[in-house]
Chains A and B, each alone.
Chain A
Amino acid sequence: MTAFLLLIGHDLRLALRQGSDAALVLAFFVLGVVLFPLGVGPEPELLQRIAPGVLWVMALLAALLSLDRMFQQDYEDGSLEALALAPMPIELLVLAKCCAHWLTTGLPLVLIAPLLAALLHLDGAGYLPLLMAMALGTPTLSLIGAVGAALALGARRASVLLSLLVLPLYIPVLIFGVAAVDQAVAGLASRPHLLMLGAFLAAALPLAPWGAAAALRPALE
């Protein structure tokens, strides 16, 4: 447990010093969402209708943007093999990396989403479900992304390969994330969709570190 927290702290410190990665993701998210009103016109009804979809698609793409750096830097400078030789399971190392990745990229997205929702005239009833859906969905994005990042490790054009690997796996999170907000806006219960997102997270928590660790081992040989 100490090693786990230590790893998260180390990654957070690195992210804080480098800064660029987390800021890049956030800036991409904000800019991408802001482009939509400019593109489709300022009619509130239209924006309100597409708001959940726009927010979620942009969150997906923004999360994808930082994934290829998840293991790549550690792999290149030799940290990854040193970490893999630490007396802890590699699965735990992956889980710590995912936590740090979510804290630096996912959490800022969750926090800024309501602000952007206001920009898109989202109905008042949609805010709480949006926040909850994002809070449940973005950790899943980090976890699934870790498997893709580990698989693409060391490959040329890893980021392109990574998008192809990971985006199809993001579809369920997208569908239920958008549906949760849509239902709330339509006056229906968003709870079932939030529960599904919770289920995805509960499944990804043990499975993704296991899969990513299996993909990391051959890369370290």
Chain B
Amino acid sequence: MFVVVEDGLVPLLTSASGLPPTAPLTAPDLPLRGRLFWWTIWHHASPLGHWMPVNPPLSTQARFSVRGLACRRGDRLVFRGIDFALGDGAALILRGPNGSGKSSLLRVLAGLTPAFGGTLRWEGQDIAEDWLAHRARLHFIGHLDALKPVLTPIEMLGFWSRLRGGSLAAAGRALERFHLADLAQLPCRFLSAGQRRRLSLARLLTSQAALWLLDEPTVGLDEASTADILDAIAEHRAGGSIVIASTHMQLAIEGAQTLALDEFAPG
């Protein structure tokens, strides 16, 4: 099954765009180098090539694509055969009952859990070749808040920010953005569950990352805070970045595609 994300749709190169229909360019996850190779041949070798110039297919590549992904937890196959391709600014919402593998999928996408099968590609490159680069481009917010009771929010956020090449000032701005600036000097053990969640989500804003992986981001948040995080997601996508979130609630993410995980359960 192939989920196509509209605004990130991979426009397949066809003869209408000036390329010979026989050129093997229709595979959506053909590596970029392969496409450039065929484009170069067409452009220079064909007598029509210079007449009908075609833009190199740089912008047509799906940014993040997943093929035949399967995940096993213990002895149980949780899901298999997941395919999707996401372009710039795309959003994907994972749905499914408890145990359908929403968190597992996010952990596989983050590289915490090894995939049982399938490939992950970022801009055509197999992610397995360079996990360090993948980790540098993603923010993963899991179920746990990763907060220390004895540290203050600004210390916590400053640490996470600088660990990923951000700054202390960015941490301060993120706190303000999520209305936590008043609590910046209060040890985390005094924060409420919703405040802790907001602080954990504020990590997203402390440094740039092209891929956000959010596991139930709005659990425990009130309406205003949910609106804050939706704002942040919209802004993030406007910059061309990708969001993948699992949720049980209605998340009003504009133009988001949905992946129902129970459809990929084996048997």
Question: Which residues in A have some Cβ–Cβ distance to B below 8 Å?
Answer: 2-3, 6-7, 10, 13-14, 17-18, 77-79, 81-89, 220-221
Residue B33 at the A interface, CB < 8 A?
A: no
Residue B169 at the A interface, CB < 8 A?
A: no
- B164 and A87 contacting across the interface, CB-CB below 8 Å: yes
Q: Report if A87-B114 is in contact (Cβ < 8 Å); known contacts: A17-B150, A77-B144, A77-B145.
A: no
- Residues in B whose Cβ lies below 8 Å from that of A82: 140, 142, 146, 160, 203
- Pick the contact of B135: A6, A14, A78, A85 (CB < 8 A): A85
Q: How far is the CA of A86 from the CA of B133 in the complex (A)?
A: 10
Q: How far is the CA of A82 from the CA of B136 in the complex (A)?
A: 12
- Residues in B whose Cβ lies below 8 Å from that of A2: 162
- A85 and B111 contacting across the interface, CB-CB below 8 Å: yes
- Residues in A whose Cβ lies below 8 Å from that of B162: 2, 6
What's the minimum C-beta distance from B210 to chain A, rounded to whole angstroms? 13
Q: How far is the CA of A183 from the CA of B55 in the complex (A)?
A: 79
With A13-B151, A82-B142, A85-B140 given, can you name 14 additional A-B contacts, CB distance below 8 Å?
Answer: A2-B162, A3-B163, A10-B159, A17-B151, A18-B150, A77-B144, A77-B146, A78-B142, A82-B146, A85-B111, A85-B112, A86-B163, A87-B132, A89-B132
- Residues in A whose Cβ lies below 8 Å from that of B148: 14, 77, 79
- Residues in B whose Cβ lies below 8 Å from that of A78: 142-146
- Residues in A whose Cβ lies below 8 Å from that of B135: 85-87
Q: How far is the CA of A65 from the CA of B165 in the complex (A)?
A: 35
Q: How far is the CA of A77 from the CA of B144 in the complex (A)?
A: 6
Give per-residue flags for B101-141: 1 if the beta carbon is below 8 A from chain A beta carbons, else 0.
Answer: 00000010011111000000000000000001101101010
- Pick the contact of A6: B111, B147, B163 (CB < 8 A): B163
What's the minimum C-beta distance from A126 to chain B, rounded to whole angstroms? 40
Residue B155 at the A interface, CB < 8 A?
A: yes
What's the minimum C-beta distance from B73 to chain A, rounded to whole angstroms? 8
- Residues in B whose Cβ lies below 8 Å from that of A17: 150-151
- Residues in B whose Cβ lies below 8 Å from that of A87: 132-133, 135-136, 164-165
What's the minimum C-beta distance from B209 to chain A, rounded to whole angstroms? 10
- Pick the contact of A7: B113, B114, B146, B163 (CB < 8 A): B163
- A81 and B163 contacting across the interface, CB-CB below 8 Å: no
What's the minimum C-beta distance from A23 to chain B, rounded to whole angstroms? 15
- Residues in A whose Cβ lies below 8 Å from that of B155: 13
What's the minimum C-beta distance from B142 to chain A, rounded to whole angstroms? 6
- Residues in A whose Cβ lies below 8 Å from that of B113: 221
- Residues in A whose Cβ lies below 8 Å from that of B107: 221
Among B110, B111, B163, which residue has the most Cβ atoms of chain A within 10 A?
B163
- B159 and A6 contacting across the interface, CB-CB below 8 Å: yes
